[in-house]
Chains A and B, each alone.
Chain A
Amino acid sequence: MSDYATYVLAVYAIALGVYGGAWIVWRREGRRLATALEQFRNGQEQAP
């Protein structure tokens, strides 16, 4: 990488931020919901 390196790095950083950020946020959301769902089901099974 020589010419336009700043522009190239900026684009790859933005792509990493957007796609990586989306992945982290949605994966966390999915894990939180899956745990909540499991806890809800377990709670229902234990309820009289």
Chain B
Amino acid sequence: MDRFLKLQTLLGVITLILLATGLWFVWNAPADFQQGGAVRILFVHVPSAKMALFAYLVLTLASVHHLWKKGEGADIIAEAAAPVGAAFAAVTLASGSIWGKPMWGTWWAWDARLTSVLVLFILYVGIIAMRSAMDDAVRAGRVTAILVIIGAVDLPIIHFSVQWWRTLHQPASLGGGGKPSITGPLLTPLVIMSIAFVAMGAYLLAVKARAVRDRRLLTALEVERELA
């Protein structure tokens, strides 16, 4: 069995176990004294948001590595990480908006955190579009890597937006530097779902990266055959 496929299968099994455990805790979580049952939205929203940022970090590191070392492996990771990150950013925006309606009384506000996450989503879409618009794969890899690195400026803006500006969005519930702002039976499902989403992100990246690698191999072999 392909080594990549073995890793992918292992990640898939780990993801499934963690998601099932997390959802069990979500189902049994008590209602929040202020948010009621809507607190369950945060068990999807917070891990998705963290993964949307983490995927961009992976994308940036892979892009820097690709520009510096010219390795194809890093470019494959970069190509695969963009749609994975876009999926996480899309769920972050949708779940945040749905949570915002009953809690804030509005689906959307042009607040610093919300706007900077929207910019992140647009960046992901732009990166995917730019790569697919170019016929020359080598040039596409380099140009996209430059765009990714420029776009990385949005990461600290997203992270610190709730501290730098007066925003409607509350400070980080988890991993904001201090103690978690939620405790007890609501913290456990959030932590387990966050770990499950890390595993899911790694799994989806492996699935997509394998497809990207095989597509490139196939294209290279076809070109080789045409030249022979």
List A contacts of B90 (CB < 8 A).
18
In the complex, the answer to whether B44 meets A11 with C-beta atoms within 8 Å is yes
User: At the interface, yes or no: A45 with Cβ under 8 Å from chain B?
Assistant: no
Interface SS of chain B: helix
List A contacts of B215 (CB < 8 A).
33
User: At the interface, yes or no: B218 with Cβ under 8 Å from chain A?
Assistant: yes
In the complex, the answer to whether B31 meets A7 with C-beta atoms within 8 Å is no
In the complex, the answer to whether B218 meets A14 with C-beta atoms within 8 Å is no
A30 to B, closest residue via Cβ: B211
The interface size bin for chain A is 20 to 34
CB distance from A28 to the nearest CB of B (A): 9
CB distance from B77 to the nearest CB of A (A): 14
In the complex, the answer to whether B95 meets A11 with C-beta atoms within 8 Å is yes
The interface size bin for chain B is 20 to 34
The verdict on A36 contacting B208 (CB below 8 Å), with A11-B41, A15-B95 known, is no
In the complex, the answer to whether A30 meets B87 with C-beta atoms within 8 Å is no
In the complex, the answer to whether B41 meets A26 with C-beta atoms within 8 Å is no
In the complex, the answer to whether B83 meets A37 with C-beta atoms within 8 Å is no
Q: Which of B96-104, B108-116, B159-167 contacts A (4 or more CB under 8 A)?
A: B96-104
A33 to B, closest residue via Cβ: B214
Which residue from A2, A11, A15, A40 sits with its C-beta under 8 Å from B31? Answer: A2
Which residue from B94, B214, B217 sits with its C-beta under 8 Å from A11? Answer: B94
In the complex, the answer to whether A1 meets B218 with C-beta atoms within 8 Å is no
Q: Which of B32-40, B59-67, B172-180, B183-191 contacts A (4 or more CB under 8 A)?
A: B32-40
In the complex, the answer to whether A12 meets B207 with C-beta atoms within 8 Å is no
Interface string of B214-225 (1 = CB under 8 A from A): 110110011001
List B contacts of A5 (CB < 8 A).
37
**What are the 3 closest A-B residue pairs judged by CB atoms, nearest first?**
A33-B214, A30-B211, A4-B38
A contact set with B: CB distance below 8 Å: 1-5, 7-8, 10-12, 14-15, 18-19, 22-23, 26-27, 29-30, 33-34, 36-37, 40-41, 44
B contact set with A: CB distance below 8 Å: 31, 35-38, 40-41, 44-45, 48, 83-84, 87, 90-91, 94-95, 98-99, 101-102, 200, 204, 207-208, 210-211, 214-215, 217-218, 221-222, 225
